[in-house]
A and B are shown apart, each in its own frame.
Chain A
């Protein structure tokens, strides 16, 4: 966490003016310091910016729309009531947050959370992706993540034969709604 001499009102966070983050596409978004503390990267960037005394922190790796959603989630996290949520309620909260998202958007969101060092949100994005892929077929996974199949047909056939039960069609749901 960054500490600096210019941060004179440490005790009263509401008096601190919010920071301004500028996304890769020029969008400027406000975020309170106490919320920004969840991101080790923002804190590091803040450290650098303090020296040049500007208030705008460029977050050049992240587009405005994603940054906005991330800040919204980070705001939720700092609310007292959020920390009292039970396991089931937290699960429902994230299910609602990610409802109807396409998997590549969740992926992008996870990568951004990782880049900004917000571990909790990164974990939740990974969990969401795990939930989205677990009932999918091998072909679906390759298509969505653009993975080249480097097994020969014989190799693939032999491997599948060893664990036929894991490929039972009945469990698989390749609905394209997640793409």
Chain B
């Protein structure tokens, strides 16, 4: 070992090297391999990430494939879409495209449960190092009709998939109030039931989705009230503490049908979009909870006029600008001042667009690499 290369210096240099090069450098020598694969290095490298990048997924109905690309956030410049930066996806869903449960710290959680009648596998994928893990079969597999909701997040140095099973009520096709819950943790490599769950909120079948913030998974939910009514709310699950809680919505949002609401993240806050439709007029109101957990801090930020061809809001840029899916299958950025949507030159089916913060990471290094097909 050369004497002019102290270990601390090697680490400081490698922390600034992109993951692809780091993977290659694990074969320089045993010391470099153990440095790069150490949990301390992996989390330091993650914390060092400075580039603001986004992950974009779209399904192209012409080639019938889903495409994953990295986008660079450039302060106030329009979003740059570089098609040459497309990520190779080593698996394919049975029909259409995967549900993206969530993404965090460079890991993307996919579930093949959007289009087929039976649920397919759940996969945790790190596109930047081309490694993935197929999550083993869960333990709660009821024969009775039920609804499955998933959550994904990384916190406390562990990546976890949480699985909620709501049983159907035979008498009225509704669902039991409280779900059965199990968790898969990357550290434990197995499913584990969570007991003592007392959740009184339900989640919309099929269209469920979540927002991950502060180590907590948030799903849009609703509570059936006496009589015929329901109140919309947010069910939260703390990945580290493994505890459920509720994040209250203000009256203006709570009284809306959960099907008209969509949960999101906007400029580091939890956000909700309320869609409204009247004869000849459609719009979406963007709300954000300025102070986490403070119901009074929910603020309406702006209105999106959907009459000009906007189908739905996909995500928000760092500066709060909305990225929307247009009815003509294009992705666009929406200017709330002018009300104009500017196409970004990216096409896909409107429901398939997914955009989230993305960062390169070394998590899952050592799992299956590209070329290994998952078993059906």
Q: Which residues of A contact B (CB under 8 A)?
A: 104, 107-108, 110-111, 114, 122-123, 126-127, 129-131, 133-135, 137-138, 141-142, 145-151, 156, 159-160, 162-167, 171
**In the complex, what distance in Å separates the CA atom of A134 from the CA atom of B25?**
9
Q: Is B30 interfacial (CB 8 A cutoff)?
A: yes
Distance in Å from the Cβ of B372 to the closest Cβ of chain A? Answer: 10
A130 and B1 in contact, given A165-B130, A166-B23 (Cβ under 8 angstroms): no
- A129–B16 Cα gap in the complex (Å)? 9
State A135–B18 Cα separation when bound (angstroms): 10
Q: Which residues of A contact B18 (CB under 8 A)?
A: 134
Those 7 A-B pairs whose CB atoms lie nearest each other, nearest first = A130-B16, A146-B2, A166-B23, A134-B21, A166-B24, A126-B12, A130-B17
Whether B2 pairs with A145 at a CB distance below 8 angstroms is yes
CB distance from A138 to the nearest CB of B (A): 5
- Across the interface, do A142 and B13 meet the contact criterion of CB distance under 8 Å? no
Given contacts A111-B9, A147-B2, A165-B130, contact A127 B16 (CB under 8 A): yes
Could you list 19 A-B pairs, sorted by A, with CB under 8 Å? A108-B4, A129-B13, A131-B16, A133-B21, A135-B21, A137-B24, A138-B27, A138-B28, A145-B2, A146-B2, A146-B5, A156-B27, A159-B33, A163-B129, A164-B369, A164-B371, A165-B370, A166-B24, A171-B20
* Residue from B4, B12, B13, B17 whose CB has the most chain A CB atoms within 10 Å: B13
Q: Which secondary structure dominates chain B's binding surface? A: loop
Interface residues in B1-39 by Cβ distance below 8 A to A read: 1-2, 4-6, 9, 12-18, 20-21, 23-30, 32-33
B17 / chain A contacts, CB cutoff of 8 Å? 130, 133-134
Instruction: Tell me the minimal C-beta distance from A111 to chain B in angstroms.
Output: 7
Chain A residue with the shortest CB-CB distance to B368: A162
- B12 proximity list for chain A (CB < 8 A): 122-123, 126
Q: Given the complex, which residues of A lie within 8 Å of B26, measured CB to CB?
A: 159
Partner of B30, one of A127, A150, A164, A165: A150
Q: Is the CB of B130 within 8 A of A163?
A: yes
B29 with A162: CB separation less than 8 A: no
The interface residues of chain B lying within 8 Å CB-to-CB of A131 are 16
Q: Are A126 and B16 in contact (CB under 8 A)?
A: yes
The residues of B that contact A130 with a CB separation of less than 8 Å are: 13-17
- Bound CA span A104–B129, Å: 29
Pairwise interchain contact B25-A138, C-beta atoms closer than 8 A: yes
Residues of A within 8 A of B21 (CB): 133-135, 166
* Beta-carbon contact of A151 and B16 below 8 Å: no
Shortest Cβ distance from residue B196 to the other chain A in the assembled complex, whole angstroms: 42
Asked whether, in the complex, the Cβ of B9 is within 8 Å of the Cβ of A114, the reply is: yes
Cβ-defined contact, B23 with A163, below 8 A: yes
* Residue from B2, B6, B15, B29 whose CB has the most chain A CB atoms within 10 Å: B29
Given known A-B contacts A114-B9, A126-B9, A130-B13, A138 and B24 have beta carbons under 8 A apart: yes
In the complex, given contacts A141-B28, A148-B1, A156-B27, what are 11 additional A-B residue pairs having Cβ atoms less than 8 angstroms apart? A110-B9, A122-B12, A130-B14, A130-B16, A145-B5, A147-B1, A151-B27, A160-B27, A163-B129, A165-B369, A166-B23
Residue of A nearest to B10 (CB): A145
A159: nearest residue on chain B (CB-CB)?
Answer: B27
By a CB distance below 8 angstroms, the chain B residues around A167 are 24
A147 to B25, CA, bound (A): 12
In chain B between 25 and 58, which residues have their CB closer than 8 angstroms to a CB of chain A? 25-30, 32-33
A143 → chain B closest CB, angstroms: 11
Bound CA–CA A122/B18 (angstroms): 19
Tell me the nearest residue of chain A to B19, going by C-beta: A166
- B13: chain A residues at CB < 8 Å are 126, 129-130, 133
Name the B residues within 8 Å of A133 (CB-CB): 13, 17, 21
Do A150 and B29 touch across chains, with their CB atoms under 8 A apart?
A: yes
The answer to whether A166 and B20 have CB atoms under 8 Å apart is: yes
Bound Cα distance from A156 to B25, whole angstroms: 11
